[in-house]
Structure 1
Amino acid sequence: MINVLFAARPERWTTYEQPLRDALAKAGVEANLAVDLPPEEVDYIVYAPNSDLQDFTPYTRAKAVLNLWAGVENITGNKTLSIPLARMVDPGLTKGMVEWVTGHVMRYHLGIDTDILRSDAQWQPRTPPLAQERSVVILGLGALGAAVAHTLIGLGFEVSGWSRSAKSIEGVTCYSGDAGLTQALSRAEIAVLLLPDTPATENTLNADTLAAMPRGAFIINPGRGPLIDDDALLTALNTGQIAHATLDVFRIEPLPQDHPYWAHPQVTVTPHIAAETRASTASEAIVENIRRGEAGEPYLNLVDRSLGY
């Protein structure tokens, strides 16, 4: 019998308790799952970075910390954490992200906002381009970026991608490094941001990189708020360099009521809804790593803390 500590906000326990118990039973893992266990008896920690647990020093027997969130920027710098840390790669979250991004790419590609006629609008029929005539660039080619890329390729889009380190994805023109970022953005009629939040990715879209994009390009950010220099984006929107931006994540959430994004006619604000971890599928992912740990197999989705993701 192993001991599994659930360390997250109380409302998360209400959501996750039964799915985790079901997943443990399905995997044949005998475990004592609880929210309150003696630290020295804990084998695995199911964790949310906003929980009260911030000092991992007492957990001398723990084998791994299994993050409930896809984002790990709030835990990678914790100097008391020396055991393996796995980030959440949830099939349900991935599917949700793919659907959300695809919907907004199609919205921009087809010009749906423009075609919605109101009483003062003129009847001006037009023919949108085919997907094969539209270039989409994905910044961030991890699990989410790759899944989005495959779906957009299936719809016929010309898809390119950029990541800090070199990646290879079938059907995707892949760029990397500083020079590669400019090359990728130079063809980005629609740019989708799915990078992690690290010191190296902050302000990836800034005055210089926004200027490298085709005039009238569109931006979709369901990744992380700090990826964009807000002042630079507002300037690019005001000059027409960027036609429109759909933003789901922000440096401060909820987005302050006095933020310029709210009133800007070329910005769509959504309340961090692009993708959410699903308790059932996330629980299966967590239990699979517990099973692997007990079987002596490699953990899935381990975080490289030197890179921050």
Structure 2
Amino acid sequence: MTLNIYFSAAAKDWEAYQPLLQNDLTAAGFDIALSNTCPAPEAVDYIVYSPDGPLEDFSPFTNARAVLNLWAGVERIVANPTLTQPLARMVDPAGLTAGMVEWVTGHVLRYHLGIDAHIVNPGHDWVHVPPPLARDRKVTVLGLGELGAACAAMLSSLGFQVTGWSRTPKDIAGVRCLSGDDGLQPALTGAEIVVLLLPKTPQTENLMNDDRLGWLAKGAALLNPGRGPLIDDDALLRALDEGRVGHATLDVFRVEPLPADHPFWHHPRVTVTPHIASSTRPETASQAVVRAITAIETGQPAPHLVDRSRGY
């Protein structure tokens, strides 16, 4: 039986993914018809999708067994009323997760070691103050899903005092895991470096507001490679101006690309990175798509299904 797979993403992605998916699915033993056009929606078995593609109405795809999202985030699709098919988010340890772990680890070490002071030292000042050891640095990771758990585990392996917080209880070796409403304040209180890796939901929007930023250690560093709306932008700017937060490195924003006149671009205590903390890499993402299709075709549940009541 031939599997009909409709690829709905940006044109540049089709060029990258088409040969990879064709080769990987064929190597897995599937006879496939793969196309980025869709003349007969009712014949489609799987939709490989990203929100920057042309597909908006899923209702004609009456026989599609799953929609396989190429992005880790699903907030731009999960509330689509035409989407009745199972939706799976991208989980790719060899690509997405590895990239996020490297970005987070690099920027945590940057703050921990005080590297900026040595890179930007116009007076050539000789300030002989060594940094503390990792075991004396408190790091909190908000969000312990696939990405957050991997980052927390890596930071713990380097010796940091790592606290993780999530909506539901988690257990990660070497990480102090807190959860729920009662766990948030203890997770943030006294934290010197905070990493935001939560999904965007009504409950997480503006999570880091004036009150919660006030729970951090004075001069704390804030890293946001998760979702832009996790932070109340005005509250963060106030905290930076008052010295309550020492620096913020932000990779995601409410509007992207970040507008040229946004205060984050010009603030001396903000580093902007252009949504590069973690990206879907076609070589490994193609293999993740194959794993998902293989699971479904062999009678297993689709991996990494989105719970639409939670929004992720």
TM category (shorter chain) comes to over 0.9
What SS is found at the alignment partner of 1:103?
helix
CA 1:51–1:119: 2 relative to 1, 3 Å: closer
* 2:117 paired residue number: 114
> Which is worse superposed, 279-288 or 170-179?
170-179
Q: Which residue of 2 aligns with 1:278?
A: 281
Q: How many pairs are equivalent?
A: 309
* Equivalent-residue separation in structure 2 for 1:142 and 1:29 (angstroms): 31
Summarize deviations over 1:187-245 as a string: whole Å, max 9, x none: 31100000011111101100010011111111000111000000000000011110000
TM-score for the superposition, normalised by structure 1: 0.98
Question: What letter is aligned with 2:75?
Answer: E
Matching residue of 1:79? 81
1:160-183: CA deviations, max 9, x gaps? Answer: 111122222222111112221111
- 1:210 match: 213
Contact 1:137 1:187 in 2 (8 A): no
Aligned runs of 1:68-217 on 2, under 5 Å?
68-91=70-93, 92-116=95-119, 118-217=121-220
Could you report, residue by residue, the CA deviation over 1:26-50 in whole angstroms, capped at 9, with x for unpaired residues? 2112211111231010000000122
- Determine the C-alpha separation between the residues in 2 that align with 1:133 and 1:26: 49
**Could you tell me how far apart the structure 2 residues matched to 1:105 and 1:35 are?**
40
1:96-136, Cα deviation, whole Å (9 max, x unpaired): 11001100000000000012253424211211111111111
Q: Given that residues 76 and 308 in structure 1 are in contact (C-alpha distance below 8 angstroms), is that contact kept between their aligned partners in structure 2?
A: yes
Query: TM-score normalized by structure 2?
Result: 0.97
Shift of 1:148: 0.5
Alignment partner, residue 7 of structure 1: 8
Give 1:59's aligned residue: 61
> More deviation in 179-188 or 66-75?
179-188
Corresponding position: 1:231 with 2:234? yes
* Aligned-partner Cα distance in 2 for 1:104–1:165: 27
Contact 1:6 1:35 in 2 (8 A): yes
Q: 1:307 aligns with which of 289, 307, 310?
A: 310
For 1:145 and 1:162, the matched residues in 2 are separated by 9
- Distance in 2 between the 1:187 and 1:15 partners? 45
> How far has the Cα of 1:23 moved from its partner?
1.3
Q: Indicate yes or no: 2:39 matched with 1:35.
A: no
Structure 1 SS opposite 2:190: coil
Could you list the runs of 5+ residues in structure 2 that have no partner in the other structure?
none
Q: Aligned equivalents of 1:175 and 1:228: distance in 2?
A: 20
- Aligned mates of 2:308, 2:51 — CA distance in 1: 15
- Identity over the aligned pairs, expressed in percent? 60
Structure 1 match to 2:24: 23
Which residue identity does 2:229 align to in structure 1?
A: P
